[in-house]
Amino acid sequence: MRRAAALGALALFLSACQQPVQASEKPVEAPAPKRVADEGKGLQTAIFAGGCFWGVEGVFSHVKGVTSAISGYHGGNGKNADYAAVSGGRTGHAEAVKVTYNPEIVRYDQLLRIFFSVIADPTTLNYQGPDHGTQYRSALVPLDAEQRKVAAAYLAQIKASGVWHKPIVTRIEAYRAFYPAEAHHQDFMAAHPRHPYIVQWDAPKVKALKRIFPGMYRAGFVTG
């Protein structure tokens, strides 16, 4: 029984996002958005791709107003929307997170600012941190016309801001079907807070969220 448990833990470790091999990423305080999202009342949903979905999900799960953050795959088809296939980098998918939020508490433009401040580096093409491949590209996937306008305006704003010294390569992608990832990838940071990848790469992002955006930070982790 112990041997089986140990083998299961090893399999989880080896099938994870790339193992940490260098120092953690540094957060950047992105500029306040000039274009404010006009989203009205009622829950809204958006999709973000920014490297390993554990960290994207983990940070958004600590943002006030977010009611759900689900890890999954976007940009390919359902036939090969699974971790083993997507990890090969040849399916067209990106590891992504579908975020549901209450715009009366946190707007889409504010989520964009958080995304570029503490989650994803918009200057790295097809990689984030130790994770390399098209499946780890950074992309915004608006789900309606207002989100698309806000996303386009903010990308233009950060390109002109001078905050980053390299070209901004994050793109806006048209929505294709979103496929939730396997159950063991959901709420991964909450379930495995001592996983080496989480400790080195993702826990610092949550700390940065708390430090840079204390009014938007929520100590509890919203699951599901």
| Residues known to be catalytic | 52
Identity of the residue numbered 54: W
Instruction: Please tell me the distance from the alpha carbon of residue 96 to that of residue 56, in angstroms, as a whole number.
Output: 8
For residue 96, the cross-strand partners are: 72
Instruction: Please tell me the distance from the alpha carbon of residue 35 to that of residue 25, in angstroms, as a whole number.
Output: 27
Using an 8 Å Cβ cutoff, are 153 and 107 in contact?
no
- The encoded tokens of residue 115 equal 């995304």
Please name the helix (run of DSSP H) or strand (run of DSSP E) that holds residue 127, with its range, or none: strand 127-128
Instruction: Please tell me the distance from the alpha carbon of residue 12 to that of residue 132, in angstroms, as a whole number.
Output: 19
